[in-house]
Amino acid sequence: MGVTTVTDLPGAPVRVPDVPGVLHTLFRSDQGGHEQVVLCQDRASGLKAVIAIHSTALGPALGGTRFYPYASEEEAVTDALNLARGMSYKNAMAGLDHGGGKAVIIGDPESLKSDELLLAYGRFVDSLGGRYVTACDVGTYVADMDVVARATRWATGRSPENGGAGDSSVLTAFGVFQGMRASARHLWGTDSLQGRRVGIAGVGKVGHHLVEHLIQDGAEVVITDVRPESVRRILDRHPQVTAVADTAALIRTEGLDVYAPCALGGALSDATVPVLTAKVVCGAANNQLDHPGVEKDLADRGILYAPDYVVNAGGVIQVADELHGFDFDRCKAKAARIYDTTLEIFARANGDGIPPAAAADRIAEQRMAEARPA
């Protein structure tokens, strides 16, 4: 195995055209930000991975491992950087004693994933000595973290049989629902979604739990997913739910009150914001804003945006608690505070005359700055 470490990569979302571009940003950019980036390779198992540590100001970096067939290594590095930065802000807003980090494994998990690869990855995580704590993300599951944990103590999101908390998507969905309730309170004066039409793009790990919360609250639910089996699972359980062909159809649905992106990032873009019919965006996906400025486009259209890294923090609250002996009721109580945090952000946005995304960033940056040693 080999490992290459680079430090001080940019804090803002970046487009990385090539490795020399990364190094240029690393040493010469004014942006600053990431503390450390580790490139990992194990030829025997086929592992190629990137571990990005954005900040340890509040404590050890905590964030999941994404297993995805990136088009290039450069794209993987870019994703790791942006996701790690998001975790710093998410953990700060969730009130956790953790900084932000993220890892990506390059490849198709359906064909490449093996115990040998996951163990090799775990050894790289372990080599960081606790500066980075990993968990599940897109393409990785509780069973995978059980394997990774055989090579390092710094793996969370494990099964209860192996001392872990199990599936973190349960509390992720619960937190998103609290963010929706806060958005409804801010916009419509009530925190109930009863009678509201909510569109969910992606009803997999988190989305199908979110459907349950909304149905119980009396909402009208519209869904879409690239996987027909995920849609069928929802429709079989809740025949009153409506399915549409794709996200393009969902965001144009007449009478949509809330749009919940719950798949991959970049859902809010120059192409989607102008045609979005919903008055609220509140979903579980990370990095929903395709580029800086989209948050202003939403505000200009009168669309209330609940920042993704605030409302989807239920999962990271759960895996962080696992390090100290998991207690579900304690975690659920912490995740319930996402309601209050979301309202705090909307109040700050109104007071400062800025979009909610900018208000959340200011609060998170203040918390990190206050925690950072002089």
> Do the beta carbons of residue 310 and residue 93 sit within 8 Å?
yes
Active-site option among 48, 90, 102, 334: 102
Between CA 353 and CA 28 the distance in angstroms is 33
At 177, which amino acid appears? F
DSSP readout, 68-79?
Answer: E--SSHHHHHHH
> Do the beta carbons of residue 324 and residue 352 sit within 8 Å?
no
Q: Is beta strand 61-62 parallel, antiparallel or unpaired with respect to 36-42?
A: unpaired
Question: Residue 344: CB partners within 8 Å, gap ≥ 6?
Answer: 363
Opening angle at CA 49, ends 77 and 58, nearest 5:
70
The question of whether 102 is a catalytic residue gets the answer yes
- What b/e readout covers 237-256, taking b as 16+ CB neighbours within 10 angstroms? eeeebebbeebeebbebeeb
Number of other CB atoms surrounding residue 3 within 10 Å: 15
DSSP assigned state of 155: B
Q: Which two tokens stand for residue 333?
A: 């109580």
338-352 helix and 169-188 helix, angle to the nearest 10 degrees: 40
Is residue 58 exposed (0-12), middle (13-18) or buried (19+ Cβ within 10 Å)? buried
Q: Which two tokens stand for residue 205?
A: 């790990």
For the annotated catalytic residues, the residue numbers are: 102
